[in-house]
Amino acid sequence: MIAHPFGPLFTEQSRVLILGSFPSVKSREQNFFYGHPQNRFWKVLAAVLDAPVPETIADKQRLVKGHGLALWDSIASCDITGSSDASIRNVKSNDLHIILDHCDIRKIYCNGKKSHQIYNRYIRDDLGREAECLPSTSPANAQWTLPKLIEAWSVIREALG
Distance, in Å, from the CA atom of 73 to the CA atom of 90, rounded to the nearest integer, reads: 15
CA distance 48 to 135: 14
Degrees, nearest 5: CA angle 128-116-40: 135
Calpha distance 83→27 (Å, rounded): 9
46 burial (CB, 10 Å; 0-12 / 13-18 / 19+) is middle
pLDDT the model gives residue 70 = 98
d(CA 85, CA 23): 10
Domains of the chain listed by start with CATH number:
2-160 (3.40.470.10)
* pLDDT at residue number 83: 86
pLDDT of the residue at 41: 98
Average pLDDT over residues 96-124: 97
pLDDT attached to residue 84: 84
Average pLDDT over residues 142-153: 96
Mean pLDDT of 140-146: 93
Q: Is the pLDDT of residue 133 over 90?
A: yes
Quickly state the pLDDT bin for 10 (edges 50, 70, 90).
very high
**Mean pLDDT (the chain, rounded):** 96
> What totals of helices (H) and strands (E) does the chain contain, helices first?
8, 7
- 45-71 pLDDT, tens per residue? 999 999 999 999 999 999 999 999 999
Classify residue 120 by its DSSP letter.
I
| Mean pLDDT computed over 101-114 | 97
Q: Is the pLDDT reported for residue 108 higher than 90? A: yes
Residue 86 has pLDDT above 90, yes or no: no
> Which pTM value belongs to this model?
0.96
Whether the CB-CB separation of 4 and 107 falls below 8 Å is answered with: no
Are 143 and 118 spatial neighbours (Cβ–Cβ below 8 Å)? no
| Mean pLDDT of the 109-135 span | 97
In this predicted structure, the answer to whether residue 161 has a pLDDT above a threshold of 90 is no
